[in-house]
Every structure is written in C-alpha cells, then in structure tokens.
Amino acid sequence: MSLWQRTLLIILALSLIAVSTALAQTPRPSPSSSPTPVPTSPDQEPPVRVFTEEVRLPVVAVDSYGHYDPTLEPDDVLVLEDGVAQQVRSVRHIPANVLLVLDTGGESSGLGGLSKSTNLTREVAMDLVKRLKEGSWVAVLQFSNSVEVIQPWTKDKQATLKTLKTKVSSGKRARFSEALAAAAQQLKDRPEGSRHVVMITDGVDTPGGKMDRAEAVRRLVAARATVHIISYTEFVRQKIDNKASKGIVEQRPTSISPISQTDPTLPPGTTRSPAFGVTVRFDPAMKRLRKAYEADVKKSQQVLTNVAEETGGKMLLPVSSEEMIVQAGEVARAIGSEYVVTYRPKRPLAAASPGEYRRIQVSSRRVGLSLHSRRGYVVPSRQEE
C-alpha cells in the first residue's frame, strides 16, 4: 500500500470518529418530556382542573364590621357535609361567571304603569355590569313573551353594555319558570364554584307557560349557582298601594241648572261660576287586577326568598328605583368578594345515588369572622362532570 493510500485511510478514520462523537453529544428528547404548550388567546379562559371527587363551594367572608374579608385561609373554614367535618384543601378567588336574567314582561300584570319598568331593569343591569371585576364572564338572558339569550358569554364589558342598551325589549307576558330552566341550562358548562345568577324580576308567571315552576326551581338549584335576586315585589306593591289610597278623583259641578247659572238678577259670583264638588270612585276592574297581582307577588316573593337562601345569594327588596340601583352595586361587590373553597368529601361522590342532596354547613374558626354559603348541593351526575 502506498503512502498516499495509507494517508487517505487515516483521514477517513478520523472523520468517522468525529461524526460519532458529535452524535453522542447531541441531547436526545426524553420519552417522558411534555410537548411545548400551545399559546392561548388572551381572551381565552385558562383551564380549571376539576377533580371528580372535589366539591367547589362558594363562600363569602365578612368581618365584625360587615366588611368583606380579603384574608381568608383554609384553616379559617369549617365545612360540615351531612354533619361530618371535611378537610378543606384550598381557598381562592377565580373569575366569576355571571348570568343576568332580566324580566321584561312589563305588561303581564295588566296594571300598566304600576308594574315593572323595562327601562329601570336595563339601567340596574348596566350599573351592575359596570361594577363587576375585570375578567368576569357575563351573559344576558331576557324573558317576556319568550325566553331569549341576547348576550352569549363574554368578558367584554363594553359589548355587554351595548347589548343591554340596544337589545333589551319588553313584552306583554312573563315566562318566569321557563327562564329559570333556561338559566340552569346556560350554567352547566361554566366552572363550578364561580356560577352566579342575578335576577331582576317580580317572579310572577303569566298563565299558560310550558314549564312547571317547582321543576324549574329544582333545576336552578341543581345548577349549583349562587342566585341573587333584585325583586320588584315591594317596589310594585308600594306603587299599587299609593294608587289605591288615592282612588280616582272626579270633579263635578254642584249645580247644573242652566237657569240659575245665567240668572242676571243674582249677585255676581253666586252662581255664574258654578262651584265644584269632589267625589272619589274606585275602578272595580282595577281593584280585581290589583288583588290578583298582590296574591301572585306574595307567593313569588316567598319562592324567590327560598331560592336565594338555599343557594347562598341575596334577596333584595328595594322600594324605589334609586334603592334598586344601589343594591345592584351591593350584589356586584358580593360577587367580587366571593371565595371558592374546595374539599374532597369523605363520603365519595361516586357512591351517591342519582340526584342525591347533601346538606352543607359552613362556619368560621376565626373570632370576628362570619362565613356565608349555600345550604347544600345536588351531587352532579357523571354526564355533568
């Protein structure tokens, strides 16, 4: 073998060694490594991990002065489920999901200007949306002759305000029970623990609806949402009572004799300008409508109160438009101050019977702190997880 051939072989051998060394030093991906996460849209809600055996309980914390407490910790909370103490795993804030349910059936009572006001309902809803924390999700459902979602879920406040300003409209009927069932359906895909319903209504149903009220209430409670109600019941009742106390004033002349009215021999001012008497008469038809509406309002107010108390929400009974707007701000503050308390129940959810109800009691372990939550929850079915 010549010198040139031996030199060529040595060069090839050194090249192969260099390539092998480079490949050995190149890092290889681990079989267990995770792929690079795909960036999400800024408006996309971050995923919330929900464990099958985890209960997410909305809780409001208030100090001894009635102010919302921003310092709640797991050790401050005692949760009893069916009388058994549970181990609290976490306490945190997550973005609220707020469904506005607007009653715009202003003519349903037949009392005209004495019933609800669509303009006031719109104004209250807009004020509430403005006061919600940034990052809150909002949807709007209105009901009158039918039930309609006029704003799907969004975090865009300006879009929601525009919808309230331009799409809220009144009708003659009020499909209240159908609206409750529709609200429950709207909430089923929202993160549990942060579901809120704010209803602006008198709770009166127009006869002839397709949904039974008791069944509608059951569905809403089973949706595991906190229900706040700004009720028209006391506001409307006060307006009706004021109108009824005044009656209808009618003026009539005390003398209708054409001779005496034009007799030139009588002193001036005696009968030439006839005196008028005042009588008060009551409209029987209006009275019957008022009585029927009052009976419906009384029943609906009790139903609404039970729903609010069961779900840990507020039942507000303003007596004026100004007070109604103020209370909208109170609801917004309550929503923004709510915590989500999580625990894994000692009695597994998988062992629950279909539709099982579990009673909840929430108490404070810290002196001077008061906690408020729902009374219980319906165990979700496998299809809802």
Residue-range domain boundaries for the chain: 52-93+342-385, 94-235+299-337
pLDDT of residue 384: 53
The b/e string for 198-208 (b: 16+ C-beta within 10 A; e otherwise) is bbbbbbbbbee
| The pLDDT of residue 154 is above 70 | yes
- Give me the amino acid identity at 85: A
pLDDT of residue 331: 96
pLDDT band at 41 (very low <50, low <70, confident <90, very high): very low
pLDDT digits (tens, 9 = 90+) for 242-267: 666 655 444 445 445 555 555 555 55
| The pLDDT of residue 341 is above 90 | yes
| The pLDDT of residue 68 is above 90 | yes
The overall average pLDDT reported for the chain is 81
Contact 71, 183 (CB under 8 A): no
Question: How far is residue 244's CA from residue 201's CA, in Å, rounded to a whole number?
Answer: 23
Helix (H) or strand (E) holding 377, with range, is strand 376-378
**CATH of range 94-235+299-337; options 3.10.310.10, 3.40.50.850, 3.40.50.410, 3.40.50.2300:** 3.40.50.410
pLDDT digits (tens, 9 = 90+) for 69-112: 999 999 999 999 999 999 999 999 999 999 999 999 865 455 55
Task: Give the residue from 90, 88, 93, 117 showing the smallest Cα distance to 104.
Answer: 117
- To the nearest whole percent, how much of the chain has pLDDT over 90? 55
pLDDT band at 116 (very low <50, low <70, confident <90, very high): confident
pLDDT of residue 268: 59
Helix segments in the chain, DSSP class H = 3-25, 118-131, 157-167, 176-187, 213-222, 233-246, 258-262, 284-311, 321-336
Place of tokens 């139903």: 303
pTM flag (> 0.85): no
